[in-house]
Amino acid sequence: MKMWSGRFNQGPDAEFEQWQRSFPFDRLLLPYEVAASKAHASALAKAGVLSGDELAATLIALDQIASEGAPEADDPAIEDVHHYVESRVVELAGEVGYKLHTGRSRNEQIATDLRLYVRAQIDDLTTLLAEFGNAFAKQAETSGAPSFAPDRGPRQVPLSDLSGWLGESVGQADNVMPAYTHLQRAEPVLVAHWLLAYVEMFLRDLDRLADCRKRLNVCPLGSGAIAGTILPLDRAAIAEELEFAAPTANSIDATSDRDFAIEFVQALSLVALHLSRWAEEFILFATAEFGFLKLPEEYSTGSSAMPQKKNPDALELIRGKAGKVYADATALFISAKGLPLAYNKDLQETQQPVFSAAQQVSSMLRVATGFMQAVEFNYGRMQQAASSGFMNAQSAAAHLVRQGVPFRHAHELIGKAVRLCVEQGCELEQLSKENYMLCGIAADEQFYTALTLNEVLAIHNVPGGTAPQRVLKSLQTAKEELSQFLGVAHACT
């Protein structure tokens, strides 16, 4: 039976009728529609609309509907998930099923179901994101943990003299790599420092999702179609049963608000943005030109034409699929903009972008985490890259500054030394004292010490900097913060 045929003389145009249905996609909301219907039925019993027996029969039918799940085949006579649940309760429990819609409207139901769906997705995505972040923290640990011990003495090895410590560094020491600005080598950093930069992005993503969850966690049920329900329903009890923090405050807003859906997909857009930046950098670092990492075979594919190829398809697809999430965010904005209060059917169009973005990001995160756990770094190559390109120039200038030379002059003097090195095809630590003299620099032993990798790292000794003891601290903090998110198990209906 239709939910609204009484006042019509004729049925809808067949094509229009099918075209306006949402059951092909809102069937996904079935578990939430059932949970919300159970809470409503209990409130109806408390208000005297359902007898004890009627409530029991209704709840048994609703539980059965939840355990059956949405039907395999689409039924063209069913308009939406709300219609499906009501019709199925009637099939299972008889006439009493027609009482279930007393004092409620599909406008408040869809607003509630969608909130419950987004809340459950936030909980799942929180776990996935925290696990992804953990994979970075583990790699950071492997890349430098043993030598993070503070009692370990400094290692005075010139950047260009890798022979003494390349072997030692591979896979176990404070592994170092160049950090880039403008995609040009800028300064050496610990590999762990670089990896932890990504963890910061994911921690912000986690925070944004938690914030969105907090704001969405209010219950529209009891708002009716727009002005509030016509029955004395206990809205606080309904909200509590569905684990919402409180009932919504205004029935007009409650039935038309989709801010939570927009916020959610915006937060996912940033997750996708971070994933795509990560994918891009790893694609670059996996090229023969960089050679910083080895693509895991289980996340790569070959070429049908070129036998030698191993392609970073997992990363490329993550980068590519990010675009779809932005499309969903844009679609949501455009569907919701300019709508007069309160419910308008346009709002039906806000469902699919939410489903699609959640599913997209969740699958991207699963693949990304597997990749990140499997990837191996070529620390030797990273170290080599960090050992050339005058990345100790700033440390050299800092040494002159410590001797009282104004920074601008120090910058100029070291710049001249770099020019000489370029002409002679050597690095700063290889330039002779005599040559430094020509540049106006008295290069003593301490000056050469300032050029060593250890010193270059050590001078970045500020919170958030790349000095090893600072990175160790950041790693500990990041792990603690991630574990807080993993520990948040939100019970969901």
Residues at the interface with ligand ARG (CB under 6 A): 22, 26, 80, 106-107, 110, 343, 345, 347-348, 351
Minimum CB separation of residue 80 from ligand ARG in Å reads 4
Q: How far apart are CA 80 and CA 353, in angstroms?
A: 17
Give yes or no: 303 in active site. Answer: yes
- 406/24 Cα distance (integer angstroms): 71
Instruction: Tell me how far, at minimum, the Cβ of 345 lies from ligand ARG, in Å.
Output: 6
Q: Which is nearer to ligand ARG, 20 or 403 (CB)?
A: 20
Q: Please, what is the minimum distance in Å from the beta carbon of residue 347 to ligand ARG?
A: 5
Give me the least distance between CB of 125 and ligand ARG, in Å please.
23
Measured from the CB atom, the residue of 21 and 321 that comes closer to ligand ARG is 21
CA distance 415 to 420: 9
* 3-class secondary structure per residue, 377-397: ECHHHHHHHHCCCCCCHHHHH
Instruction: Give the three-class secondary structure for 190.
Output: strand
**Helix, strand, coil % over all residues of the chain, rounded to 5:** 65, 5, 30
Distance (Å, rounded) from C-alpha 157 to C-alpha 162? 8
Given a contact cutoff of 8 angstroms between Cβ atoms, the answer to whether 337 and 258 are in contact is no
Distance CA(28)–CA(117), nearest Å, equals 9
CB-nearer residue toward ligand ARG: 63 or 259: 259
Active site residue 82: no
Determine the Cα–Cα distance for residues 431 and 400; give it in Å rounded to an integer. Answer: 16
Omega before 314 cis (within 30°)?
no
Residue nearer to ligand ARG on the CB measure, 261 or 314:
261
Nearer to ligand ARG, 29 or 417 (CB): 29
- Tokens representing 469? 């003891």
Closest CB to ligand ARG among 26 and 241? 26
Q: Which of 67, 163, 182, 304 is catalytic?
A: 182
Q: Nearer to ligand ARG by C-beta: 27 or 46?
A: 27
Residue 337 burial (CB < 10 Å; 0-12/13-18/19+)? exposed
Nearer to ligand ARG, 19 or 163 (CB): 19
Distance of CA 416 to the CA centre of its chain: 46
Q: What is the DSSP letter of 425?
A: T
Query: Do residues 473 and 463 touch, judged by C-beta distance below 8 A?
Result: yes
User: Using CA atoms, how far apart are residues 328 and 265, in angstroms rounded to an integer?
Assistant: 7
Q: Shortest Cβ distance from residue 355 to ligand ARG (Å)?
A: 12
Min separation Cβ 133 and ligand ARG, Å: 35
DSSP class per residue in 129-181:
HHHHHHHHHHHHHHHHGGGG-TTSPP----TT--TTTHHHHTTTS--EEEEEE
> Smallest distance from the beta carbon of 22 to ligand ARG, in angstroms?
4
Minimum CB distance to ligand ARG, residue 335 (Å) = 11
Find the catalytic residue in 105, 163, 274, 303: 303
Which residue type occupies 140?
A
Q: Which of 179, 108, 142 is nearest to 343 (CA)?
A: 108
User: 47: which DSSP letter?
Assistant: T
Comparison of 84 and 290: residue with beta carbon closer to ligand ARG: 84
Three-class SS state of 187: strand
Q: How far is CA 392 from CA 12, 102, 454, 464, in A?
A: 76, 75, 10, 19
Dihedral Cα 180, 184, 185, 190, nearest 10 deg = 10
Q: Which residues are catalytically annotated?
A: 182, 303
